[in-house]
């Protein structure tokens, strides 16, 4: 039996509804290392990146992936592999 105390669904929903977008952005930044963002597939390779940070972009929360640090997405070795895999096909 899991004895760890967790929030119940209703408590979590109420908490989320009380949070502003700024609060959610702050919470995402606190936990960003626990998230991965899937952004599609290329030549049968599933592409994703760790979440680096979140920020406000107008009224919405923008998630920034670690790949945002690259000058070119092809600088990521796995993305480069996926691109090259398509060129060879």
Question: Is the pTM here over 0.85, yes or no?
Answer: no
Q: For residue 40, give the 3-state DSSP assignment.
A: strand
Task: Identify the pLDDT of residue 73.
Answer: 85
The torsion region of residue 40 among left (phi > 0), alpha (psi -120 to 50) and beta comes to: left
In the predicted model, residues of the chain with pLDDT beneath 70 are 1-5, 88-89
Give the rounded distance of the alpha carbon of 24 from its chain centre: 14
Q: How far apart are CA 24 and CA 48, in angstroms?
A: 22
Task: Identify the pLDDT of residue 78.
Answer: 86
| Nearest partner of 58 among 21, 18, 19, 16, judged by Cα | 21
Task: Identify the pLDDT of residue 85.
Answer: 84
Q: How far apart are CA 31 and CA 36, in angstroms?
A: 11
pLDDT (tens digit, 9 = 90+) per residue, 7-27?
788 899 999 999 999 999 999
Task: Identify the pLDDT of residue 58.
Answer: 97
Q: For residue 72, give the 3-state DSSP assignment.
A: coil
């Amino acid at each position: 039996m899991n004895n760890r105390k967790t929030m119940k669904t209703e408590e979590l929903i109420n908490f989320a509804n009380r949070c502003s977008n700024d609060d959610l952005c702050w919470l995402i930044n606190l936990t960003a290392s626990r998230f991965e963002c899937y952004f599609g597939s290329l030549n049968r390779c599933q592409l994703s990146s760790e979440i680096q940070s979140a920020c406000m972009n107008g009224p919405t929360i923008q998630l920034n992936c670690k790949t945002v640090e690259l000058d070119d997405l092809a600088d990521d070795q796995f993305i480069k592999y996926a691109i090259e895999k398509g060129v060879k096909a």
